[in-house]
Chains A and B, each alone.
Chain A
Amino acid sequence: MKHIISPLDLSVAELSDVLELAQEIIKEPKKYSNVCNGKKLATLFYEPSTRTRLSFEAAMLNLGGSVLGFSSADSSSAAKGESVADTIRVISSYADICAMRHPKEGAPYVAAEYSTIPVINAGDGGHNHPTQTLTDLLTIKTLKGRLEHLTIGFCGDLKFGRTVHSLINAMVRYPNVKFVLISPLELRIPEYLREEVLIENKIPYKEVQKLEEVLPELDLLYMTRVQKERFFNEEDYIRLKDSYILDMKKMAYAKQDMLVLHPLPRVNEISTEVDNDPRAVYFKQAEFGVYVRMALIMMLLEVHTTC
């Protein structure tokens, strides 16, 4: 039995299998519409996350399975003080697989230690969100056709953005990948990521503050939101905020086949005028999230199509 707690819990080969299966599902979804008949997914959401929960539920329903669960700690036994370990022991007898979202970092790891069913981390605080990373990888592989030989720009809040950290960790495993890290000084990637991941693996990268100057060299641009409260002073925020808003004026500098990704929800960091540009794939990305979760559920439950 396997759990997915970190994006690195899947080897490159396993990852390739999941992404290939997801691509098969995209081509012929009906073929997979009954593979999880009689199976149940428990969604244990200790904090609200409508998008992720619905994506998991849609994935299981698309496979012919059923879903049960809770969508906030208030409506669960956690409100009575039950531990994660006790909750998962009980849920293990109700469902065949579970997806857990928890505000505390490491909660899904605890669940995996006590669970008798596969546990998928659906986000634990600012720590990991492996199915978002899988979603990003499927989007890149499907729309770009490859996961190697790419120059990837990450823009915005690179310090607290867990999706950025996870995707960098996942992408360094592929050959000839370069990173361009675009953020204000206050929101640069954490030191451990620079030292232990990029420098340790001799991955080419550069850190810049202005999006415009690097846009022409990017194959992919991964946007994240810069929140005002993250800045130390308002002066810096006012000086830099426009630099982290993607609009059509900036898109003019980008390659014709550059893709714009965003984990969503978007606030104002991508102007809505960009939505109609064929290079803007963030809504497609959300759709891919369902397919990759379908593939992951199938892999963890070890179910296959009959034909």
Chain B
Amino acid sequence: MLNISGLSHGIVIDHIKAGGAMEIYHYLNLERLDCPVAIIKNAKSNLTGKKDIIKIEGSIEMDLDMLGVLDHNITINIIEDGKITKKRHLQLPQTVTNIIKCKNPRCITSVEQELPHKFKLTNPEKGIYRCAYCEQKFREN
């Protein structure tokens, strides 16, 4: 088992779907951070078999609930003085604007570039978001 040292202060983004870490990494612009960032791919998971994890030493100022749009199973652990002080599941936002893009070539957003890309949470249990305009499921197109 690969050994990555624990954080003293930071954030652990856990239970990312295996293979999904880089999308989260890019979405959070983690490449711009100076602090240490570890991406663990295909870690063992009792729940799903495999998962990805991102560990960030330091803090990032961002609404992490938005990550739920990309992967609703993600959990966030806040680490202080080497201990988990807060562990929480994401609260899926009802609507998201300009976080994800509709890729349906038949959608009005494909021709009118000025329009905001708006998605609505249509199934909170399964974390399904649909385009507010064409109702295409996110990731289906």
Contacts and interface: CB of A to CB of B under 8 A. Distances in A.
25 contacts: A83-B114, A84-B108, A85-B112, A85-B115, A102-B108, A103-B106, A104-B110, A104-B111, A105-B104, A105-B135, A106-B108, A106-B132, A106-B133, A106-B134, A107-B133, A109-B108, A109-B133, A110-B108, A110-B112, A110-B115, A110-B133, A125-B134, A126-B106, A127-B134, A196-B123
Interface of A: 83-85, 102-107, 109-110, 124-127, 192, 196
B60 to A, nearest CB: 33
B107 interface: yes
B137 interface: yes
B131 A106 contact: yes
B75 interface: no
Chain B interface: which size bin? 10 to 19
B137 A105 contact: no
B112 to A, nearest CB: 5
A106 B137 contact: no
Contacts of A102: 108
B135 A83 contact: no
Nearest to A103: B106
Contacts of B108: 84, 102, 104-107, 109-110, 124
Given A110-B133, A127-B106, A192-B137, 18 more contacts: A83-B112, A83-B114, A84-B108, A85-B112, A85-B115, A102-B108, A103-B106, A104-B107, A104-B108, A104-B110, A105-B108, A105-B133, A106-B109, A110-B108, A110-B112, A124-B108, A126-B106, A127-B135
Contacts of B136: 105
Nearest to B115: A110
B135 to A, nearest CB: 7
B11 to A, nearest CB: 34
B64 to A, nearest CB: 28
Contacts of B133: 105-107, 109-110
A106 B111 CA distance: 11
